[in-house]
Chain A
């Protein structure tokens, strides 16, 4: 009898976040395919080229992972802020600030210093500057109730112009005046063994940094007091306040951590993936990070996989040129995916509806089978195997019954 109490009551399955995310991806790809077809090109060839461009050899796989590095870190940044009920769309600006910090340090620190110490310095420095940039938004939100979406966008453009000025002032390449001088390879995050392994791809230490960040963020969110408080503020700030959690402090901490992650992303982007900074260029990755976080359901593991998925889209699109499809199709697909994750209610409802109908059908089949056997037992008390057998037996009966009903009509 005891096992019956523990048994969960039978009910229809609910759509899991994973299923909803996968459906959003599916719909995004369909939308992309329709667009490609509309301009008179072959969608299947297009997606084939994308996969080819992203995964066909070691070097391309390395490049894809190199691109995913930024996306993982920014996705984590957005996801972390999201868990606290904040929307960080200022990752681009935080990235620029982290990147410029790394780049300036790379030029002014002596080339001869030990590599581990050097790497530690630039990682900590760019994370700190990114954190400061995120903290400003958190501070404005906590103290002055300035909506973080507006303030982060303003800070994005502030960072854009600051970086514009600082590249010119500190690290400009005298021959090409709109770019910074390329950083020496020993001062980037590139590693010889990784470069050799992947045949000169952009894969660098940043990828491991991103994985470590995933683990750390998972630990903070799921295993620490701080994480619990932050999530409590995210789900209901008034309830959290009533429970004695300092809401304003949580907001500032959360934005600072999000900023630090985006600052690291800037470091891996400008001093690993690439080795120059261009003047007057807003990194698009900051916005792609939103898609990564939403698609990954804001969990570190989900963020990792969705970042790799977007990495494939973004690296693979380079090979589209041969087919005549504009490469922006990848961004269009990404934007469509976000729209569908934002409207995940329809997707969840759609799947829940299907599950429910399926479940009701099974229930009916079981009762029909039981009726034919002349038994009357509570369905809840049947074991899983018994239920399966009964469903198998009942399904043909159900079909017959349905067919008869149709004829009667």
Chain B
């Protein structure tokens, strides 16, 4: 029964780690499917994390309801992410600049700007919220044997929002004409343009959605397991893990759900390894590098059948 207790301690944590990655990867999916390479997920998530930390911290200290403060923080994060992604959209779509460089510039800008603002707002490099989201059991579902303890106990409410957004995205991308157009912009933009659709507009929507979702992902990091914006560690390359998950998931919603969950489990093992008896013998350093090496291996394995949008990264 020891294995069962390990699983029940890993899976709920892994789900918490999965959600920010899922949102980041889904954001990347929208952007890349519309034809804009987006390597600034990291910066967008970091900005989201910072914006939600600041708003939540300020509102909670001002005496607002804790949950309301978190909700406002999440909204602020999405807004901040969208604003920053607008910079990438202008550079990539209107100015036809190198999207990899523009993305990197935005990553650096996010790191520097959030730290700059954190220092002006709190005086130190960190913004810590008073309380994150309280984990709750889902009333009836948590009593189901096997699935109950794994999926429905000690959950964050943001998890359900993220999953809902994922489901809506699935529908939007594959069952509506909007989704078809968006995907076509990433494959053959001139065909879309000849059908009388504004490619630039579709790409703007794609990039802005990636900003919104990555911001949400960053807010999830803050409100669930991190509890603070930390300038020194940032978000530890999670945004790049999300991009890797996007590639590993073959640019498909179901694929990224599976791959982000895989990375979520890796992150859990890296972060909780010391408290799980099975992994206690492994030094911290090796536990820490596990998710990144696993990602590299996963990328090598998935490289054979790459289904990247053909026109991704090509200015139109």
Q: Which residues of A come within 8 Å of B, CB atoms? A: 35, 39, 87, 89, 140, 144-147, 149-151, 153-158, 160-162, 164-166, 168, 280-281, 287, 290-291, 294, 326, 328-329, 331-332, 334-336, 338-339, 341-346
Across the two chains, which residue of chain B brings its CB closest to A146? B299
**Given the contacts A161-B285, A329-B116, A89 and B104 also touching, CB distance less than 8 Å:** yes
Among B106, B232, B243, point to the contact of A339 (Cβ < 8 A): B106
Please tell me if the beta carbons of A162 and B285 are within 8 angstroms of each other in the complex: yes
Please tell me if the beta carbons of A150 and B300 are within 8 angstroms of each other in the complex: no
Among B115, B120, B232, B299, point to the contact of A331 (Cβ < 8 A): B115
Can you show 23 pairs from A to B with CB atoms below 8 A apart? Answer: A140-B299, A145-B306, A149-B39, A149-B240, A150-B240, A153-B240, A155-B292, A157-B237, A160-B288, A161-B286, A165-B285, A165-B286, A287-B108, A328-B119, A329-B116, A335-B105, A335-B108, A338-B105, A339-B105, A342-B97, A342-B98, A342-B102, A345-B96
CB-CB under 8 A from B113, the residues of chain A are 328, 332, 335
B176 CB within 8 Å of chain A: no
Please tell me if the beta carbons of A168 and B97 are within 8 angstroms of each other in the complex: no
**Given the contacts A328-B119, A335-B112, A345-B97, A165 and B284 also touching, CB distance less than 8 Å:** yes
Please tell me if the beta carbons of A157 and B289 are within 8 angstroms of each other in the complex: yes
Interface residues of B in 240-295 (CB under 8 A from A): 240, 243-244, 247, 283-286, 288-289, 292-293, 295
B147-160 contact mask (Cβ, 8 Å, vs A): 1 or 0: 00000000000000
CB-CB under 8 A from A89, the residues of chain B are 104
| A290 to B108 CA separation, bound complex (whole angstroms) | 10
B90-117 contact mask (Cβ, 8 Å, vs A): 1 or 0: 1100011110111011111101110110
| A248 to B38 CA separation, bound complex (whole angstroms) | 25
Shortest CB distance B251–A (Å): 13
| A280 to B39 CA separation, bound complex (whole angstroms) | 24
| A261 to B112 CA separation, bound complex (whole angstroms) | 25
Q: Which residues of B come within 8 Å of A, CB atoms? A: 39, 87, 90-91, 95-98, 100-102, 104-109, 111-113, 115-116, 119-120, 232-233, 236-237, 240, 243-244, 247, 283-286, 288-289, 292-293, 295-296, 299-300, 303, 306
Please tell me if the beta carbons of B96 and A332 are within 8 angstroms of each other in the complex: no
Given A280-B233, A339-B109, 6 more contacts at CB 8 Å? A87-B104, A146-B296, A146-B303, A281-B232, A331-B111, A344-B97
Please tell me if the beta carbons of A331 and B105 are within 8 angstroms of each other in the complex: no
| A144 to B299 CA separation, bound complex (whole angstroms) | 8
Across the two chains, which residue of chain A brings its CB closest to B120? A39
Shortest CB distance B138–A (Å): 35
Please tell me if the beta carbons of A161 and B289 are within 8 angstroms of each other in the complex: yes
CB-CB under 8 A from B289, the residues of chain A are 157-158, 160-162
| A339 to B106 CA separation, bound complex (whole angstroms) | 7
CB-CB under 8 A from A332, the residues of chain B are 109, 112-113, 116
Q: Report the number of A-B residue pairs with Cβ-Cβ less than 8 Å.
A: 139
CB-CB under 8 A from B109, the residues of chain A are 332, 335-336, 339
CB-CB under 8 A from A147, the residues of chain B are 247
B-side interface mostly: helix
**Given the contacts A153-B237, A329-B116, A338-B105, A165 and B299 also touching, CB distance less than 8 Å:** no
Across the two chains, which residue of chain B brings its CB closest to A31? B109
CB-CB under 8 A from A329, the residues of chain B are 116
CB-CB under 8 A from A162, the residues of chain B are 285, 289
Across the two chains, which residue of chain B brings its CB closest to A287? B108
**Given the contacts A162-B285, A329-B116, A331-B111, A146 and B300 also touching, CB distance less than 8 Å:** yes
Among A146, A155, A158, A328, point to the contact of B112 (Cβ < 8 A): A328
| A287 to B284 CA separation, bound complex (whole angstroms) | 26
Shortest CB distance A90–B (Å): 11
**Given the contacts A329-B116, A336-B109, A150 and B285 also touching, CB distance less than 8 Å:** no
Please tell me if the beta carbons of A165 and B95 are within 8 angstroms of each other in the complex: no
CB-CB under 8 A from B111, the residues of chain A are 287, 331, 335
| A178 to B233 CA separation, bound complex (whole angstroms) | 15
Among B96, B244, B283, point to the contact of A154 (Cβ < 8 A): B244
Please tell me if the beta carbons of B119 and A326 are within 8 angstroms of each other in the complex: yes
CB-CB under 8 A from B293, the residues of chain A are 154, 158
| A146 to B101 CA separation, bound complex (whole angstroms) | 18
Shortest CB distance A147–B (Å): 7
| A164 to B292 CA separation, bound complex (whole angstroms) | 15
Please tell me if the beta carbons of B101 and A164 are within 8 angstroms of each other in the complex: no
Across the two chains, which residue of chain A brings its CB closest to B43? A335
Closest 10 CB pairs of A and B: A165-B285, A331-B112, A161-B289, A161-B288, A326-B119, A335-B109, A335-B108, A342-B101, A338-B105, A339-B105
| A158 to B236 CA separation, bound complex (whole angstroms) | 11
Across the two chains, which residue of chain B brings its CB closest to A82? B101
CB-CB under 8 A from A281, the residues of chain B are 232
CB-CB under 8 A from A157, the residues of chain B are 236-237, 288-289, 292
Shortest CB distance A124–B (Å): 26
CB-CB under 8 A from A87, the residues of chain B are 100-101, 104
Most buried by A among B232, B233, B244, B296: B296
Across the two chains, which residue of chain A brings its CB closest to B296? A154
Across the two chains, which residue of chain A brings its CB closest to B102? A342
**Given the contacts A145-B306, A154-B292, A326-B120, A338 and B101 also touching, CB distance less than 8 Å:** yes
Please tell me if the beta carbons of A331 and B108 are within 8 angstroms of each other in the complex: yes
| A154 to B236 CA separation, bound complex (whole angstroms) | 10
Shortest CB distance B262–A (Å): 14
Across the two chains, which residue of chain A brings its CB closest to B119? A326
Shortest CB distance A132–B (Å): 15
Please tell me if the beta carbons of B108 and A338 are within 8 angstroms of each other in the complex: yes
CB-CB under 8 A from A344, the residues of chain B are 97
| A87 to B39 CA separation, bound complex (whole angstroms) | 12
Shortest CB distance A163–B (Å): 8
Most buried by A among B87, B96, B106, B299: B299
Across the two chains, which residue of chain B brings its CB closest to A156? B237
| A165 to B115 CA separation, bound complex (whole angstroms) | 28
Among A164, A331, A341, point to the contact of B288 (Cβ < 8 A): A164
Please tell me if the beta carbons of B119 and A150 are within 8 angstroms of each other in the complex: no
Please tell me if the beta carbons of A35 and B116 are within 8 angstroms of each other in the complex: yes
| A89 to B119 CA separation, bound complex (whole angstroms) | 27
Please tell me if the beta carbons of B284 and A164 are within 8 angstroms of each other in the complex: yes
Shortest CB distance A88–B (Å): 11
Please tell me if the beta carbons of B102 and A339 are within 8 angstroms of each other in the complex: yes
| A140 to B298 CA separation, bound complex (whole angstroms) | 12
| A162 to B113 CA separation, bound complex (whole angstroms) | 29
